[in-house]
């Protein structure tokens, strides 16, 4: 399998803090890669570095073999990198439908899409994530679970080749988590490569083809989910040394 994304020795410092420390990994075509780690491990920072809202202090990021590290966020979006935000950021004053239409209008293949066509695609996408009945609501009137779905729909409307999901399951109940897992599986089956950041270990274990673990900005494990989760260093990072 070929790599969609190749993260190569990426480091990001904030003042004195090293949030992401010399991290390298690949996201392969059509796989679901889980990214886990304790709070403050640098997971969201990594997503921001890939989507272009933050620039790395050093290192390179390749998308389909091309370096994208110098490209602004909107160019990366148009190449096919879609992301969701952990702290959900819809366009609050716009309707749910128009929130998603922005993705269809400006994402990959956007530029030629007409307004009415974009709304049509947005409608289909909202149907897909189960928000069909909320399309006319203002985005800031949606509750937490609704906003999580909206984040997904917005990213999917961009027709991404790579989808970066930053904690789309946090705060959802068991049934809602199952729904989102189902959606992510469907997305992958359509050929999208997915990077999933998650705290819900059970969910990510069944969903991911491979797992990647960050701790204090450093990659401490990578590979088969079962093996990674039983790895001594990983258990220590999560539970502390003594209890492990």
Partner 1 sequence: MLLLAAIAVLAAVPWFGSDVLIQFGINALLLAVLAQGWNVIGGYAGYASFGNSVFYGLGSYGVAIAMAQWQLPFGGGLLFGAALAAVFAVLIGIPVLRLRGHYFAIATLALAQVMAAIVSNVKLAGRNVGLVLPPLNNDPLFYELSLLLLVLATLTVYWLTRSRFGFGLIAIRENEEGAAVMGVNTTLYKTVAFAISGVFSALAGGIHAYWVTFIDPESAFDIGLNVKMIIMAVFGGPGTVFGPVVGALSLSALSELLSSEITSLAGLFFGVVVVVAVVVMPRGLADVLRRFRCMGWRYFAENIRSHQL
User: Which 111-150 positions form the footprint of partner 1 (CB under 8 A)?
Assistant: 115
E strands in the chain: 3-14, 17-28, 32-36, 58-63, 66-67, 81-83, 162-166, 193-197, 210-215, 218-223
3-state SS assignment for residue 243: coil
| Binding string, residues 58-77; x marks residues near partner 1 by CB under 8 A | --------------xxx-xx
Among 11, 53, 57, 231, binds partner 1 (CB under 8 A): 53
Among 34, 107, 145, 225, binds partner 1 (CB under 8 A): 107
**Which phi and psi angles does 201 have, rounded to 5°?**
-60, -40
* 56 counts as binding partner 1 under rule CB under 8 A: no
Q: Which residues contact 62 (CB under 8 A, 6 or more apart)?
A: 3, 5, 6, 8, 68
38's tokens: 């304790």
Q: What does the alpha-carbon distance between residue 100 and residue 158 come to, in Å, rounded to a whole number?
A: 9
Cβ closest to partner 1, residue 51 vs residue 121: 51
Q: Are 150 and 90 in contact (CB under 8 A)?
A: yes
To the nearest whole angstrom, how small is the minimum distance from the Cβ of residue 107 to partner 1?
5
* 102 counts as binding partner 1 under rule CB under 8 A: yes
* 110 counts as binding partner 1 under rule CB under 8 A: yes
Q: Are 61 and 6 in contact (CB under 8 A)?
A: yes
* 154 counts as binding partner 1 under rule CB under 8 A: yes
Among 14, 55, 66, 92, binds partner 1 (CB under 8 A): 92
Chain residues in the site for partner 1 (CB under 8 A) = 51-53, 72-74, 76-78, 82-83, 85, 89-94, 98, 101-103, 105-108, 110, 115, 154-155, 158
């Amino acid at each position: 399998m070929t790599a969609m994304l190749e993260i190569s020795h990426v480091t990001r410092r904030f003042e004195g803090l090293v949030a992401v420390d010399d991290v390298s990994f690949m996201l392969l075509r059509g796989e679901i890669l889980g990214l886990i780690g304790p709070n403050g491990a640098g997971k969201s920072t990594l997503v921001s570095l890939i989507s272009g809202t933050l620039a790395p202090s050093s290192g390179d990021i390749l998308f389909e073999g091309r370096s994208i590290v110098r490209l602004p966020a909107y160019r990366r979006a148009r190449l096919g990198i879609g992301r969701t935000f952990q702290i959900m950021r819809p366009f609050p004053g716009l309707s749910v439908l128009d929130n998603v239409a922005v993705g269809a209008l400006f994402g990959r293949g956007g530029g030629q899409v007409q307004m009415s066509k974009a709304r049509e695609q947005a409608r289909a996408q909202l149907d897909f994530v189960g928000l069909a009945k909320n399309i006319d609501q203002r985005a800031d009137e949606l509750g937490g679970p609704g906003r999580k779905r909206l984040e997904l729909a917005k990213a999917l409307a961009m027709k991404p080749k790579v989808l970066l999901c930053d904690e789309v399951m946090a705060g959802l109940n068991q049934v809602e988590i199952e729904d989102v897992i189902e959606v992510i599986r469907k997305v992958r089956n359509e050929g999208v490569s997915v990077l999933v950041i998650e705290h819900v270990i059970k969910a990510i274990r069944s969903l991911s083809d491979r797992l990647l673990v960050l701790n204090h900005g450093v990659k401490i494990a990578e590979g088969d989910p079962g093996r990674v989760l039983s790895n001594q260093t990983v258990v220590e990072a999560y539970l502390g040394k003594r209890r492990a």
